[in-house]
Amino acid sequence: MPKGKPLLEETKRKISLTLKNRFFSIDTRRKISLALIGRSLSEEARRKMSLVRKGKHRSEETKRKISTALKGRKFSEETKRKISLTHKGMGHSEETKKKMALLRIGKHHSEETKRKMSEAHKGKSPRGVGFKHSKETKRKMSEAHKGKKLPIKHIEKIRLHMKGYKFSEEAKRKMSLSHIGLQAGKKHPNWQGGKSFEPYPLGWTNTFKEQIRYRDGYKCQLCGVPEVECTRKLHVHHIDYDKQNVDPNNLISLCLSCHIKTNRNREYWTIFFKKVNIYQKRIEYDLTEIH
C-alpha cells in the first residue's frame, strides 16, 4: 500500500476485529513504540481512542508499568496545561481519594514546590472568601481532627499570621452566639478542676503585684508593650500555673492579650519562659520597696 494513503473504513473495521483480544510480544510492542516516536495523532484519532477507553480500567500491573515509565520524566509547560484542562471539573471517587490521602502521609512539599504554589496563587482570592463547606463536609472535617493536637511550631505560625487581624462586629457576634453554653465550666477545654475558685495565699496583695511590675520595668515580658499603653494594669502571671507559688522567680508581668495566650498550651509556655531565661535566671531586685 502506498505510504500516506488513508485506509478505508471497512478495512479499518476488519483490522480492528482481527486485532481484538490479540496480545503482542514484548519485542513487537517495543517496535511499535519506536515506530510511533515523534508521531502526532490527529484530534479525530485521539477522540476515538478516548471513546474506546471510556469505562475501562487498567490492571494494577499496567498501572505499575506506566508509573515506572513516567518516573523522573518532566512534562513541558504546554503538556502540563493540557493535563490541567483535561482534569478540570473531574471528581475523584472515594476510593481514589483514600488512596491519595494514604500516599501523602508523612510527605512534605519541597521549598521549590511551595514557592511555585505560592506564585500560582498570587493575586487570587483565597478559597475561604465566600466559600462555604456543606454540613456533611464540616462533619467529616470535625471527625478527622478529633483528638489531634497541632504542633507548637504550627500554633506559633498561626499566632503570627493572626497578629493584628481584626474580626468584624458581625463575626464577633456569631462567634459569641456559637459558644453560648458550649465552653462554660467543665465544658471549657482549659477546665482545670475549678482551680480559679481556690483562694490565693496571704502574701498575694496589690502591693506585692505592683513590686513585680516594677521589677519588670512596667513592660509586658512577652510582647514588650509598656503598661502606659495598655487599657489596664499588667497582669502578674504564675509561670508554673500554681497559685500557691508566689516566689518572685515564678511570677512575670504580662499584658491582657499575652496573658490570654498563656491560658492554652500551658506546658509550652512554661518551657518557653524557661528558654528565654526568665524562669530560673531572673535579675535579682530588692522587692522590699519601690524606689
As a whole number of angstroms, the distance between CA 184 and CA 16 comes to 73
Q: Radius of gyration over alpha carbons of the chain, in Å?
A: 33
**Residue 222 within any structural domain of the chain:** yes
Can you tell me the distance from the alpha carbon of 276 to that of 222, in angstroms, rounded to the nearest whole number? 10
* Nearest alpha carbon to residue 249 among 201, 289, 209, 212: 212
pLDDT at 279: 45
**274 vs 281: CA distance, rounded Å:** 9
Q: Is residue 290 part of a domain?
A: no
Residue whose grid cell is 494494577: 60
pLDDT reported for residue 196: 63
pLDDT at 255: 92
Whether 5 is covered by a domain: the verdict is: no
Domain count, the chain: 1
Q: What is the pLDDT of residue 287?
A: 46
219: confidence class by pLDDT, cuts 50, 70, 90: very high
pLDDT average, residue stretch 186-190: 63
207 lies in a domain?
A: yes
Q: Report d(CA 157, CA 150) in Å as an integer.
A: 11
CB 268 within 8 A of CB 152: yes
Does 249 reside within a domain? yes
Q: What is the pLDDT of residues 277-286, one digit of tens each?
A: 554 444 444 4
* β-sheet bridge partners, residue 235: 254
The domain containing residue 243 runs over which residues?
201-275
- Per-residue pLDDT of 4-24, as tens digits, reads 567 778 887 887 777 777 777
Note the pTM of the prediction, 2 decimals.
Answer: 0.36
252 in Cβ contact with 273 (< 8 Å): yes
255 belongs to a structural domain: yes
Residues 24-52: pLDDT tens digits? 777 887 887 787 777 777 788 778 877 77
Enumerate the H helices of 186-236 as residue ranges: 206-215
3-class DSSP state of 141: helix
Residue 259, number of CB atoms within 10 A of its CB: 17
Cα→Cα distances 36→40, 86, 241, 247, Å: 8, 23, 74, 82
Tell me the C-alpha distance between 7 and 14, whole Å: 11
Mean pLDDT across the chain: 79
User: Quick one: average pLDDT of 87-98?
Assistant: 78
Taking residues 84-109, report their average pLDDT. Answer: 80
Q: Which residues contact 241 (CB under 8 A, 6 or more apart)?
A: 192, 266, 270
205, part of any domain? yes
Question: Is there a domain that residue 246 lies in?
Answer: yes
